[in-house]
Structure 1
Amino acid sequence: MKKIGVMLALLMLGVIVAGCVEQTQTTTTEGIEETSDTSTPIATNTTSRTQTVVSHYPVVVIDFAGKEVTVNKEPQKIVSLAPSITEILYFIGALDKVVGVTKFDNYPENVQEGRTVIGGFSDPNIEVIASLEPDLIVGTSMHIKYLDQLEKIAPVIIIDPKSIEEIYEAVELLGKVTNKEEKASEVVNYMEEMIEETRSKVKGAPRVKVFYIVWSDPLMSVGNGTFIHDLITIAGGENIFGDAQGWPQVSVEEVLSRNPEVIILPPHAGISAEDLCNSTLANTDAVKTGRVYTLSSDDIVSRPSPRIIEGLKEIAGFLHPEIFNFTYQPLICEATTG
């Protein structure tokens, strides 16, 4: 009888152990394998691979408006409220998540195809945005006035870079919330390499005095604290209005007194290079020597996205053609007026 009792005891012990093993396996499907010390969960191999994806979220970030924004899961439907934002999302590999763009989005090519146009840059259609049921909306400071309405639809992140460094920050922030941090780092590293390469090439070269025309009437230029000013400086130039801040309105007399050696303007500045021949600015060294350059696109300097590097390459070529093997047809004025 004593032997039978021992055998029954062993049998019951086996059932208990088996039950514990089965319970542990069931717990594992929930994400971790519990041990006697519940404060120290041990991840199984299978679960570890799952946790690598899940553990990235929720993500909490501070956006450019100083708001704390929580993104609880990887965004699958993103609405972009600015072309520059769409471009950043493209470069970090998150464009496939974008469901809404503005009517001004034009990069990459055919970006509007298969996506809903949610209105203009400054006047997005809130109802259209809501109909897309996004799980993330990304805008600029232009859209803060719509914040209350937009936050009822989805988390809203505001990015508004004013310098090259802040473009890096914007790329990294969007990389973080879209789970594209590695790609975002690659993009920033590439930008930094191109900028450092340009700086290195112009090091020791004479600084070229530059007047950048943002708009012709009223005459507007760029000052310190803008990414265009940064591009001019990195490319080996001296912005003649670098002592101003932002986007200063300037007078023709000021331009003449500072006498730029190079004038740069975008295609849509309200004035062409040829128009300068018949203006008072014809008395600047830039016009006299034919060193008036028109960028290939407004977007490569006006949009704070990784494409700013394209703008840098063009500006560097304008300022130091001998260093960057740049050729450009000089402006030839048949006659100038005072």
Structure 2
Amino acid sequence: MIFTDQLNRQISLKETPKRIVSLVPSQTELLVDLGLRDAIVGVTKFCIHPPDLRKEKTIVGGTKNINLEKIKALQPDIILCNKEENSLEIVESLEGIAPLHISDIYNLDNAFELFKMYGHIFQVEEKATLLISNIKEERERFQNKIVNQPKRKAAYFIWRNPWMISASNTFIDAMLKEANFSNVFSSESRYAEIGLNHPELNEADVIMLSSEPYPFKNKHIEELKTIFPEKHIQLVDGELFSWYGSRLRWSFQYFSQL
């Protein structure tokens, strides 16, 4: 059986994979929600959803550093990676252990494409189709709710020391648009390091501090309030802006609260 991943790489599988190593947290959760929990044999230390999964599976490292010997010992039928989460060096080191499927996600359409790919590869098409339908229903419900509401301008911070924001050409940027925000750093690309004196920050209606990858807390709101006393600054759930798996079911309900 020949399949294609999101980098248009061809993957040859003799049969439906029964032993899966997932190196991406959002994809691990997606597998579980597609009914594939028993087939997962290896995960990263960041695969925190569902919370008890890591007790059952072998932890093979993080998304940026892996234990090759542990992965080899698991004898996986397939290894699931992501272009952004896993470096080229990691991907190349995995070649020859098992077929690699690499995702490449920038928007919801890319995420839905991945759902369909997994549905096909793991023979769970019906569950994948239903999940896509549920997310699209939530999306339509939210869009109907905001149809007459103006877009607000946002700056979305992902790191501190150095201060870094999510700019254009990222899944977070796409989800900001889905949530009816415009990114004041749309002229920047990917994840940019900025100073707090950056003029674009003055344009923001709201400054968002993500819960991940940097664990922003209320004290950081107070820190920024000393610089931007008139700005609305708030903590936001980074998983609901950046996880492109089945957690998307809850993103639009969360956006309604914002």
Give 1:163's match in structure 2, choosing from 94, 100, 107.
107
Inter-partner Cα distance in structure 2 for 1:180 and 1:226: 28
Match for residue 294 of structure 1 among 211, 219, 235: 235
- Correspondence for 1:104 among 24, 30, 46: 46
Q: 1:179-190, aligned counterparts within 5 Å?
A: 179-190=123-134
C-alpha displacement of 1:281: 6.2
Helix, strand or coil: the match of 2:66?
A: coil
Say if 1:147 and 1:215 are closer, same or farther in 2 by CA, change over 3 A: closer
Residue 220 to residue 147, structure 1, CA distance change in 2 (3 Å): closer
In the other structure, the counterpart of 1:227 is 171
Question: Aligned-pair RMSD on alpha carbons?
Answer: 2.2
Instruction: Between 203-212 and 271-280, report the one with greater CA deviation.
Output: 271-280
The amino acid that maps onto 1:176 is H
Cα separation, 2, equivalents of 1:153 and 1:177: 18
Q: Aligned with 2:155: secondary structure?
A: strand
Q: Which has the higher helix share?
A: 1
The structure with more strand, counted as a fraction of residues: 2
**Cα distance change, pair 284–160 in 1 and its aligned pair in 2 (3 A):** farther
* Residue in 2 that maps onto 1:46: none
| CA 1:168–1:117: 2 relative to 1, 3 Å | same
- Structure 1 residue runs of 5 or longer lacking an equivalent are 1-57, 319-338
* Structure 2 match to 1:121: 63
Correspondence 1:260 to 2:204: yes
Change (3 A) 1:237 1:147: closer
Partner amino acid, structure 2, of 1:100: G
**Are the equivalent residues in 2 in contact too, given 1:256–1:284 (CA < 8 A)?**
no
2: CA distance between counterparts of 1:314 and 1:75?
A: 34
- Listed one character per residue, the Cα deviations across residues 294-327 of structure 1 (whole Å, up to 9, x for unaligned) are 12x4333332212134344323322xxxxxxxxx
Judge conservation of contact 1:261–1:284 (CA < 8 Å) in 2. Answer: no
Q: Which of residues 75, 79, 91 in structure 2 aligns to 1:133?
A: 75
Indicate if the aligned counterparts of 1:256 and 1:283 stay in contact, CA closer than 8 A.
no
The normalised TM-score by structure 2 is: 0.88
SS of residue matched to 1:87: helix
Q: Could you say what secondary structure the match of 2:11 adopts?
A: strand
Bigger RCO (CA 8 Å, 6+ sep): 2
**Change in CA separation of 1:236 and 1:148 when aligned onto 2, cut-off 3 Å:** closer
TM-score, normalising length from structure 1? 0.69
Question: SS of 1:113's equivalent?
Answer: helix
Identity of aligned residues (%): 25
Question: Pick from 187, 198, 206: which aligns with 2:142?
Answer: 198
Q: Secondary structure at the match of 1:265?
A: strand
For residue 97 of structure 1, report the CA deviation from its aligned partner. Answer: 0.7
Gaps of 5+ in 2: none
In structure 2, C-alpha distance between the alignment counterparts of 1:257 and 1:143, rounded to whole Å:
31
How far the C-alpha of 1:129 sits from its partner, in A, is 1.0
Verify the 8 A CA contact 1:198 1:234 in the aligned structure 2: no
* Aligned pair partner of 1:315 in 233, 236, 255: 255
Alignment of 1:1-338 (within 5 A): 58=1, 60-141=2-83, 142-255=86-199, 258-268=202-212, 269=214, 271-279=216-224, 282-283=227-228, 285-286=230-231, 291-295=232-236, 297-318=237-258
- What SS does the corresponding residue of 1:206 show, helix, strand or coil? coil
Report the Cα offset of residue 270 of structure 1.
Answer: 5.9
Cα offsets for 1:108-136 (capped at 9, x unmatched): 12011221111221111111111111111
Alignment partners' CA distance in 2, 1:281 and 1:310: 33
